Amino acid sequence: MRAAIGLLAIGLAASAAAQEAPPFAAFDMAGPAVLHDPHDLAFGPDGRLYVADKFGARIAVLDPETLEVVATHGAGLLPNVHDISFGRDGRAAIAVTGIGAVLVVEDLADLAAATVLAAPRTEGALMHSSGRVYAMASGSGRILAYEGERLVAATEGHYGAHDLAEDGQGNLWVADNFARRLVKYSPALERLQVLDAAKFGFEGPRYLDVDAMGRLVVA
């Protein structure tokens, strides 16, 4: 009987602890309504937030503490921009859907010097830790891997897919929204895993990231 009571007490304690566990995330604050259908965002090397402001055709720079816009880049020059990603060397890759290309820049203030990588109706770009640039060419359903200006690998079957993210092992995750799934690839674009079970509840996943603990954060 004592053993049974002890087990019951442990069970109740565990249940109470589970009920008191904090949520994964909670609302903190919102910035002013000055963006125009913003899409993906990334922290830059300077610690500020860089937002692909789609209908503003620009990159908006926000103070992460106040969410106030403190600068902009390329206003009017980045039609239907969807994504921005920074590499370890400070370069940025920008998915500019309206021109069907990913722009790779060393300085956002000098877009005229950008390297232009073809990617039909691109909606995602990733500056990989290897130095490669990966582009999600949503219009052709292809993920494209570039080294410099040279296309070195590609895979198909992802029409309308959006974001790309890198995990701690250098693998890629793709938000395959039309197919309601996430797909994992090696850097060589070999398919490794698919998450599409009903338990995940993916209804058009568009954006994702991988946190320091290796957890996928999906929008």
Query: Is residue 184 within 8 Å of 171, Cβ to Cβ?
Result: yes
Long-range contacts of the stretch 170-174 (C-beta < 8 A, 24+): 170/128, 170/129, 170/130, 172/126, 172/128, 172/134, 172/143, 173/208, 173/210, 173/216, 174/124, 174/136, 174/143
Full domain range(s) for residue 166 = 37-218
Task: Give pLDDT tens digits for 157-188.
Answer: 999 999 999 999 999 999 999 999 999 999 99
In a domain, 13, yes or no: no
Give the pLDDT band (50/70/90) at residue 138: very high
Nearest to 120 by CA among 158, 63, 72, 164: 158
Q: What is the CATH number of the domain that holds 43?
A: 2.120.10.30
1 found inside a domain: no
Asked if residue 4 is part of any domain, the answer here is no
* Per-residue pLDDT tens over the stretch 56-88: 999 999 999 999 999 999 999 999 999 999 999
Q: Is residue 8 part of a domain?
A: no
Q: Is residue 11 part of a domain?
A: no
Number of domains in the chain: 1
For residue 24, is it within any domain?
no
- Tens digits of per-residue pLDDT, 17-33? 445 666 667 777 888 88
